[in-house]
């Protein structure tokens, strides 16, 4: 090696080389600023300690200002209204509107920052900057986008079917909002704690299909119709693996109520993803098909059929379709966290930290996984996707349901400590899943010894190791 350090090859590599850690940046600050920063950190720590003291003291339990569970505040409000002697409809309406406001603010808030998050994270995966011109870190980009979309002219094709052309953006938005109903955000913080919550979830997710189809058909455009037919076929097929995956969850926990599923996981300190690894994978994969995300976004494959079923929509109508995609992504994140990742609980931490913050963190992690998939995986072909649902996910899912039925009946007859059978089930299921997936893939004709195993291109040109090699470090 020569003494001269090699010039970084790309702007991104230059950034990596010049990147300084947080501590270094702190050390470079002038003295007054250092003291101010230290004061800020100390104050933050002191505030946290005070909160922790109040929480541990138990002074907060059941008070209306207990922010760990907003449901308590709402039930206090209802009690107060009943004491004051309002008409019985008033507390009913008020609490209903409050819950609706909560759901709307979650979805609306996500629409405001979601597209920014997705584009920035995706940009990091693709070694580029992402939106960074509007506001600090490009944070105002979604607002600029929204303003642009609203200003745009709404073009309606002359041959479009007027009635059915106007309806789909609205039809498709309804399930995206309704789906939030049964999600438990904390112990008493669930808008619609139905005892058929799982069924409700499946039913709501099946409603979106019609909106997609009507959008594609009424636009009177070949690309739209193609995209709609692909999406409908995909969504109808992938509803079945989702149902089978959730069936296993219901069998294991013995309840269709979402809050009880979470309570079961919290009670035994066992997330269902450990017990049902294949079910969790099946749910995640099928959900990506259901909400049209990579690797299953053939319904709107940009390189093949323009924008799929909403090709003919412009302005805010197209914006609604994109918004639904964002909203559905975190809805699936919430479902995934509730069913498989322990919902608002985190091994006892929910007694200290508000449950909805824990759930929001889990949702964000699942969403990150979605963006990761989008940045990493190519798109499946339609026939591959169908074959995967029917030939691979379905048989293995049914086998898993049988297995779980046996395990659940054993577990129901087990009267002593639950730890042993649950651990045994987790190990058994993991082993069986790996073995079954391997054998079934072989039976379907997957032959790794024939196909190339190592991704040559990725090794040569991509990744951090390659970046270091180019830099000569």
- Residues in contact with other proteins by CB under 8 A are 161, 163-164, 167, 194-196, 199-200, 202-204, 206-207, 209-210, 213-214, 217-218, 232, 236, 239, 256
Cβ nearer to other proteins, comparing 232 with 305: 232
Cβ nearer to other proteins, comparing 145 with 161: 161
Quote the least distance from Cβ 340 to other proteins, whole Å.
22
Quote the least distance from Cβ 203 to other proteins, whole Å.
4
Quote the least distance from Cβ 414 to other proteins, whole Å.
22
Q: In angstroms, how far is CA 261 from the centroid of its own chain?
A: 18
What are the phi and psi torsion angles at 184 (to 5°)? Answer: -85, 120
Quote the least distance from Cβ 163 to other proteins, whole Å.
6
Cβ nearer to other proteins, comparing 167 with 353: 167
Cβ nearer to other proteins, comparing 130 with 308: 308
Cβ nearer to other proteins, comparing 45 with 196: 196
Cβ nearer to other proteins, comparing 202 with 316: 202
Quote the least distance from Cβ 179 to other proteins, whole Å.
12
- Token pair, residue 372, equals 């990761």
Quote the least distance from Cβ 137 to other proteins, whole Å.
41
Cβ nearer to other proteins, comparing 131 with 216: 216
Cβ nearer to other proteins, comparing 130 with 241: 241
- By C-alpha distance, which of 295, 249, 256, 251 is closest to 273? 249
Quote the least distance from Cβ 39 to other proteins, whole Å.
56
Quote the least distance from Cβ 206 to other proteins, whole Å.
3
């Amino acid at each position: 090696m020569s003494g001269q350090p090699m010039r970084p090859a790309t702007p991104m590599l230059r950034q990596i080389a010049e990147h300084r850690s947080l501590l270094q940046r702190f050390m470079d600050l002038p003295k007054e600023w250092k003291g101010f920063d230290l004061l800020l950190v100390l104050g933050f720590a002191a505030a946290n300690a005070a909160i922790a003291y109040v929480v541990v003291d138990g002074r907060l339990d059941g008070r209306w200002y207990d922010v760990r569970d907003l449901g308590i505040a709402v039930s206090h409000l209802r009690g107060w209204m009943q004491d004051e002697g309002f008409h019985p409809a008033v507390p009913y309406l008020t609490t209903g509107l409050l819950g609706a406001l909560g759901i709307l603010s979650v979805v609306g808030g996500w629409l405001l920052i979601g597209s920014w998050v997705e584009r920035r994270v995706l940009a990091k995966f693709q070694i580029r900057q992402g939106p960074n011109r509007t506001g600090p870190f490009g944070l105002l980009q979604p607002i600029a986008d929204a303003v642009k979309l609203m200003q745009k002219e709404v073009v309606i094709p002359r041959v479009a079917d007027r009635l059915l052309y106007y309806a789909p953006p609205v039809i498709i938005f309804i399930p995206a909002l309704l789906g939030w109903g049964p999600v438990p955000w904390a112990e008493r913080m669930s808008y619609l704690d139905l005892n058929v919550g799982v069924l409700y979830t499946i039913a709501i997710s099946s409603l979106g299909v019609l909106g997609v189809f009507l959008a594609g058909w009424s636009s009177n455009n070949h690309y739209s119709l193609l995209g709609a037919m692909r999406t409908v076929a995909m969504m109808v097929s992938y509803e079945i693996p989702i149902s089978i995956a959730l069936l296993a969850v219901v069998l294991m926990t013995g309840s269709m109520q979402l809050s009880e599923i979470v309570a079961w996981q919290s009670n035994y300190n066992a997330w269902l993803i450990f017990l049902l690894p294949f079910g969790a994978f099946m749910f995640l994969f099928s959900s990506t098909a259901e909400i049209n995300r990579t690797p299953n976004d053939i319904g709107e494959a940009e390189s093949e059929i323009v924008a799929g079923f909403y090709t003919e929509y412009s302005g805010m109508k197209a914006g609604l379709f994109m918004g639904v995609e964002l909203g559905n992504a975190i809805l699936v994140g919430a479902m995934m966290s509730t069913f498989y990742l322990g919902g608002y609980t985190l091994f006892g931490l929910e007694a200290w930290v508000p449950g909805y913050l824990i759930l929001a963190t889990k949702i964000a992690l699942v969403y990150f996984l979605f963006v990761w998939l989008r940045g990493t995986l190519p798109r499946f072909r339609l026939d591959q996707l169908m074959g995967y649902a029917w030939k691979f996910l379905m048989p293995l899912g049914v086998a898993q349901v049988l297995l779980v039925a046996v395990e659940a009946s054993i577990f129901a007859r087990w009267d002593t400590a639950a730890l042993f059978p649950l651990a045994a089930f987790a190990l058994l299921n993991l082993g069986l899943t790996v073995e079954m997936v391997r054998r079934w893939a072989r039976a379907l004709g997957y032959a790794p010894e024939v196909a190339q195993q190592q991704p040559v291109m990725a090794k040569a040109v991509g990744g951090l190791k390659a970046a270091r090699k180019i830099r000569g470090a």
